[in-house]
Amino acid sequence: MTKIKICGVTNEEDATWAVNLGAHYIGLNFCKESPRKVSPEQAAKIARKVPSFVPTVGVFVEHTVPEILKIAQKVGLTGVQLHGDQTPEDARALSEKLEVLLIKAFRVGGEADLEQLAAYKDVVGYFLLDARVEGVAGGTGQTFPWDLAVRARAFGKPLFLAGGLTPDNVAQAV
C-alpha cells in the first residue's frame, strides 16, 4: 500500500488540510537551515492538532541524539526521521530510548549509495530515499533514478520516496 508523508508542515492549518486530504504522516522539520523549519514550541502546537492515528515525524539533520530525544519528548513526536549523518549507533540509541517510528533518510544518486542501507536495516523501520545534491541535506525538489528504489527494496524495509514528486510523475514513482 502506498502511503504519503507531507513534510515541512509549518502550521496547524496546513497539518489539518494534509490529514483531511489523506496524508498518512505529517513531517515537522527541525533542520536549522531549512526555510520550513519549526521550533519545538511550534511543532508541539501542530502535533496537538494532528489525530492520534496520523504519526507526527520530526525531521532531524544536524542534531545529536540528546537533542533529538529532548525535542521528540517535548513535542510528543510519534516518529523520528534521521536525515543527516547519524550513525547506526545513533539510530540504535534512539530506538532504545524512544518508542517511535524510526526512519533513516539516504541521499542517493547511484548504485554505490545503496550500500549504506545495509548498516541500518536491523535498526530502523523505514528507509527514505532522496536525491543526492551535493552540499544540500534534502528538500531540493530533485528526483533520483527511481530504479534505485527497486534495488533498495532488497534490504527488506518499506520505502519512502522524496524529492521532485509532482502530480505529473507520482504515479510513475509508485
User: Of these residues, 7, 14, 122, 168, which one is catalytic?
Assistant: 7
Residue 110: closest CA among 141, 127, 132: 132
162's enclosing H/E stretch is none
Q: Can 14 be counted among the known catalytic residues?
A: no
Residue 108, classed as helix, strand or coil, is strand
Determine how many CB atoms are found less than 10 A away from the CB of residue 50.
Answer: 22
Taking the C-alpha atoms of residue 160 and residue 3, their distance in angstroms, rounded to an integer, is 8
Q: Can 90 be counted among the known catalytic residues?
A: no
Taking the C-alpha atoms of residue 51 and residue 100, their distance in angstroms, rounded to an integer, is 16
Task: Please give the full DSSP string across 110-138, using - where no structure is assigned.
Answer: SGGGGGGGGGGTTT-SEEEEEE-BTTB-S
Catalytic residues: 7, 130
